Structure 1
Amino acid sequence: MSSLSETRDDVRSTFTEETSEDLVVASFGDMPDPRLREIMNSLVRHLHAFVKEVGLDQREWEQGIQFLTATGQKCDPTRQEFILLSDVLGVSMLVDAITNATEPRATDSTVLGPFHMVDSPARELGSWIGEVGAGEQALIRGRVLSADGTPLPRALVDVWQADEQGFYDVQVPDRVSEGHLRGLFTTGADGVFWFRTVVPAPYPIPTDGPVGDLLEATRRHPYRPAHVHFIAGAEGHRPVTTHIFVEGSPHLDSDAVFGVKESLVKPFVLVDDPRLAQAHGLDGPFRLCEFDLVLEQADSR
């Protein structure tokens, strides 16, 4: 026959709406990794609180499971639907803000995005990063600097972008080869980088999967303003993942993934100077964008 105290213990261990969080958190009590325990405990408490707050029923739970399953099934070597989901929910930018709080002189970071899925080909400074001659010509140049203004030689600058129609190479493999509008550059002794490309177009994030269904159901548009992606790194410095956004582009104030920061919006100035164009291997008027990538020193935090 059970004692009264044993009966009370059994009651306390019964899974109910009131006891759910405590019971699941207690199940992680022997977890040896303190950081994992902290994350799991907080996840469980917030998740259970969410379920209780909205009164999630069985049908809605099943729909949620189906949505997450479909999200995983949409992922492949060139498509990361979970990153896309994180992006449109603002989680990617929140993690970026927490992780990359930098000193004020450093270049602002922003999201990686779902299309950094292949290695950028190494290219010489000044190279065309595109492999087909379409779109408005652009010259992008700048320097990689330390936060104190010192140029950083042999810094790596990884670049990728959409084309003039708003597509990345991995989205249109029947039209362009892998590496189109991508490049990996090494700066010279003066920290300078420059390359030739086309002005990218604004584009919708992929909407043919569950994230697109979510945006449609919530009446949100899927568009991103025109931009070029960068990852810059140098010895002794923290790398930065960032974009430059084309000034005047549509959707700068409503980016579907919340990635726009005012400091990253840059003018693409029209240059109609035949001699300057010829000096840079261009055959007519072009757009010029100049900016510096400023890196925080690794030991500055």
Structure 2
Amino acid sequence: MTTDATGTTTGTTGSGTTASGPVAPESTVTDEAVGSLAGTADPRLRDLLTGLVRHLHAFARETRLTQEEWEKAVAFLTRTGQTCTDTRQEFILLSDVLGLSMLVETINGDRAAGATESTVLGPFHMTESPARELGADIDLVGGGEPCVVSGRVLSRDGTPLPGAVIDVWQADGNGFYDVQRPDVQPPGNGRGLFTADAEGRFWFRTCVPSPYPIPTDGPVGGLLRATGRHPYRPAHVHFIASAEGHVPVTTHIFVAGTDYLDSDAVFAVKPSLVKDFARTDDPSLAGEFGVENPFRHARFDLVLERS
């Protein structure tokens, strides 16, 4: 006896038939797998698992998945899990390069008009950013072109949000995050946790980020090579901004004119997030930010919607 997804019970004769006649074994196993989820107490979990089973089974039928291919897929996922560490998240990287991270962000990132657009978290928000004073330099190793990033955190109606928290992280001038090269970069390099001033303003010193390849020494790199894709991301700085009574936003700013803006390996570029890192030689501005001329300056306001 089997119970299908609708709860209907049918009898089997033991040779791929039911009391009403022959059945398709492929459909039967799908219905039985879905039926086994009927007792899931959490309705949302039941819906998610039911959809997952149905789509996975449909994929296997549509592609006529072979046993050898299935075994290779299991081995690939096993290697992906084994590659993860406290400072590396290969599964997020896999989700990123398949476009799933950006799809989920897009589904859930429907912002009100005027609010800063969100984008993917990325695989390198793996360690806590150190608290820093406004104006601090997050580039602890040097070697890149000096830069200042400044802006305000605002509510959608333009009201400044004093005390807003801005979490920042980026790669160094050579395209590596601190967790990738702990023998070269001190912990916290390229990272900072800032608190906006009474007017919602924030600013910090850093280096101009550069395009860089996502890690290719693991299973995800093998997948990119197998599909003839490049691993590069355009130059960018990550942000998470939050303020009381408002919806946090996870976003980037991308350096205008950088390579790979039209072919980001993780599909995360949005036109509103491409910003000019303008070269400036303004003595008063240099004095205000505590840098030497000339330097690059990027202005970026983070606009949050009310929760």
Give the TM-score of the pair, scaled to structure 2: 0.93
Q: 1:238 aligns with which of 235, 247, 259?
A: 247
Quote the Cα distance in structure 2 between the aligned partners of 1:30 and 1:136: 59
The one-letter code matched in structure 1 to 2:296 is R
CA contact (8 A) 1:145 1:152 kept: yes
Displacement of 1:272 in angstroms is 1.7
Q: 1:85 aligns with which of 67, 70, 94?
A: 94
CA contact (8 A) 2:11 2:18 kept: no
The one-letter code matched in structure 2 to 1:27 is S
The one-letter code matched in structure 2 to 1:210 is P
Deviations 1:220-259 (A, max 9, x none): 1100000000000000000000000000000000000000
Q: 1:211 aligns with which of 211, 217, 220?
A: 220
Superposed, 1:164-183 pairs within 5 Å as: 164-183=173-192
Q: Which residue of 2 aligns with 1:257?
A: 266
Q: Which residue of 1 aligns with 2:66?
A: 57
Q: Which residue of 2 aligns with 1:124?
A: 133
CA contact (8 A) 1:225 1:252 kept: yes
Q: 1:41 aligns with which of 37, 42, 50?
A: 50
Say what the alpha-carbon RMSD is for the aligned residues: 1.6
Quote the Cα distance in structure 2 between the aligned partners of 1:106 and 1:64: 40
CA contact (8 A) 1:204 1:224 kept: yes
The one-letter code matched in structure 1 to 2:272 is S
Q: Which residue of 1 aligns with 2:199?
A: 190
Deviations 1:43-73 (A, max 9, x none): 0100000001111101101100010000000
Quote the Cα distance in structure 1 between the aligned partners of 2:26 and 2:297: 61
Query: Do residues 157 (structure 1) and 190 (structure 2) align?
Result: no
Please, which runs of 5 or more residues in structure 2 have no aligned partner? Answer: 1-9
2:92 partner SS: helix
Q: 2:211 aligns with which of 191, 202, 217?
A: 202
Quote the Cα distance in structure 2 between the aligned partners of 1:161 and 1:23: 48
CA, structure 1 residues 6+90, in 2 after alignment: closer, same or farther (shift >3 Å)?
A: closer
2:86 partner SS: coil
Displacement of 1:148 in angstroms is 0.7
Quote the Cα distance in structure 1 between the aligned partners of 2:40 and 2:171: 45
Quote the Cα distance in structure 2 between the aligned partners of 1:192 and 1:213: 43
Displacement of 1:187 in angstroms is 0.4
List, as ranges, runs of 4+ consecutive aligned residues in structure 1 with deviation greater than 3 Å. 5-15
The one-letter code matched in structure 2 to 1:123 is R
1:171 partner SS: coil
Query: Do residues 22 (structure 1) and 31 (structure 2) align?
Result: yes
Give the TM-score of the pair, scaled to structure 1: 0.94
